[in-house]
Chains A and B, each alone.
Chain A
Amino acid sequence: MTDPFRPLGVTADKQRRRMTIQWGDGHTSEYSFTLLRLACPCAECRGGHEKMGGDPDPVLFDLPEEDTPQTRMVKVEPVGMYGLTMEWEDGHHYGIFNWSFLRKLCPCPVCRG
């Protein structure tokens, strides 16, 4: 059974400023670094613990890309089998992106409906 939330591979391309995830159901998601930073689910970026979780804000997908220390990814690491955490050039490294959230964050036309 193909699991849409099971990632097969993650590639972070600092040259293109894109992170790509290959999913178990054959789908491929490509995220701009800007989108990932804007969608950070941590309490600091969301404005409090009570606002964590939930689906990505649709307005994020319409915001322009930026090349700033806030959107330059330094590294990306797995958090167990739970998801990913990223560190940014401005030092921010608190967001934990679980696989379900990342799949919902896919900006491709198919996923955005």
Chain B
Amino acid sequence: MRNVFRWLFDPWVILGAVGFGIGLSGAALLLLWLTRTTDLPNAEATAAITVIALPTPTPVTPSPTSPAPVTPTVTGAPPPAPANLAIGAYVQVTGTGGDGLRLRTDPGLDSDVRMLGLEGEVFVIQDGPREADEYTWWYLVGPFDETRRGWAVANYLSVVQNP
């Protein structure tokens, strides 16, 4: 009876079992690696827009060109706050260099950040202005998603045509 199970403790049997297990695990890992899906990096660029014009030529009136005025810029300083912000105005996040604009729970640089308004994202002003930390703050709400809301500084907002 003891001889029936003796082979289980044979060193060669144990070695073979361990080797089989390692080989099986390696095959499984190789299979997972071969069938992995690669997530493409999220493209930040907007879609290219192509306009096919009408076949009839459109007369173009040449406009006089003049050199663009040089606007002095101060590195690191936020852009000036626009003067035409008001409750009910539709505004777009601009000038963040793609970083986005923090929307906070209250006016002020120490208040919690609720979310990030994306560069180019449109909001509607529902409250403000409030002054805090030497900035003017407006309360923004997403026009199609009201969960996107918060207080934001005026310097990175520009009014869009009232949709």
Name A residues whose Cβ lies closer than 8 Å to a Cβ of B.
Answer: 1, 6-16, 21-22, 41-43, 52-53, 75-82, 84-85, 93-96, 98, 100-101
Since A9-B47, A96-B90 are in contact, a sample of 12 more A-B pairs with Cβ atoms closer than 8 Å, ordered by chain A residue number, is A6-B43, A7-B47, A11-B51, A22-B47, A76-B49, A77-B49, A80-B92, A80-B118, A80-B121, A81-B44, A81-B121, A85-B161
Number of residue pairs A-B, CB distance < 8 angstroms: 89
- Interface size for B (C-beta < 8 A) is 27
Contacts of B122 in A (CB 8 A): 79-80, 82, 96
Contacts of A1 in B (CB 8 A): 39
Once the chains are docked, how many angstroms separate the CA of A48 from the CA of B60?
37
In the assembled complex, the CB of A47 is this many whole angstroms from the nearest CB of chain B, namely: 14
Residue in chain B with minimal CB distance to A46: B163
Contacts of A98 in B (CB 8 A): 144
Q: Are A78 and B49 touching (Cβ within 8 A)?
A: yes
Q: Indicate whether A43 sits within 8 Å of B162 (C-beta atoms), given known contacts A7-B47, A53-B143, A78-B47.
A: yes
In the assembled complex, the CB of A57 is this many whole angstroms from the nearest CB of chain B, namely: 16
Residue in chain A with minimal CB distance to B43: A6
